[in-house]
Amino acid sequence: MAVPEVTAIIPVFNDRVSLEAAIPRSIEILSRIAGDYEILIAEDGSNDGSIECARHWEEKDHHVCLLHRDHRQGRGKALNRAINEAKGTIVCYYDVDLATDMQHLPELIDAIREGADIATGSRLLPRSDSVRTERREIASRGYNFLVRAILGSRIFDHQCGFKAFRKSRILPILPFIRSSHWFWDTELLVRSQRRGYSVTEFPVRWRAGRGTTVRLRDIFEMGSSILRLWWQIHVAKD
């Protein structure tokens, strides 16, 4: 297998049904837009058959590789490991439920080819096509407003699970990221912008996946994570 240009990472925790659809869809699109590629399944301690599904595809197609963990350590740690092990010069990841329409994958990859350090899909730009509950919409807009106001980010949607990086630029950031789960995306974007990295944000078509809800505890954790990162950056000088 030649050295791939693109590594696509699919983080997975107990989502076999979505993974069964995500792998062949990824192969279909990547085979058209990348000279060579690999797909890393960043599996994080699943027990629902996700491991067996990934292994089936790993045996069936040499582009697919399973990165398995016996115990769950968090989405952020799974992504850190996968990015470090990626062979591609361009690394992207997207949610296993394909909530972001995969028609945008060429645009995501091309943004890095054209010189951006980071590219990210956005559900909150004027031309975005996003469908979710009113409660989730309010929570998302409020969260992103706070990130912009408190942490000085210029991005409108930090949590869209549809991002790509130039690997050589992202590797120096990873050791500083402390979040092991959902806040990983925001922390990566904030720290990268503080280093002067170029970030391309573009509108996407997005539909909420199965079982995605917002709880009061989630809102509290959002605020706490933002304040914690502010402290790390401005007081601890991390």
List active site positions: 185
Query: Which CA distances in Å does 22 have to 28, 109, 202, 217?
Result: 10, 17, 22, 30
The secondary structure of 131-194 as a DSSP string is: E--HHHHHHHHHHHHHHHHHH----S-S--SEEEEEHHHHTTTGGG----STTHHHHHHHHHHH
Gap between the Cα atoms of 228 and 234, Å rounded:
10
Gap between the Cα atoms of 139 and 27, Å rounded:
34
Nearest to 25 by CA among 8, 13, 48: 8
Q: Alpha-carbon Rg of the chain, whole angstroms?
A: 17
Q: Which two tokens stand for residue 27?
A: 């192969």
- The vertex-104 CA angle with 98 and 105, nearest 5°, equals 80
User: Is residue 119 within 8 Å of 108, Cβ to Cβ?
Assistant: yes
What is the DSSP code (8-state) at residue 100? B
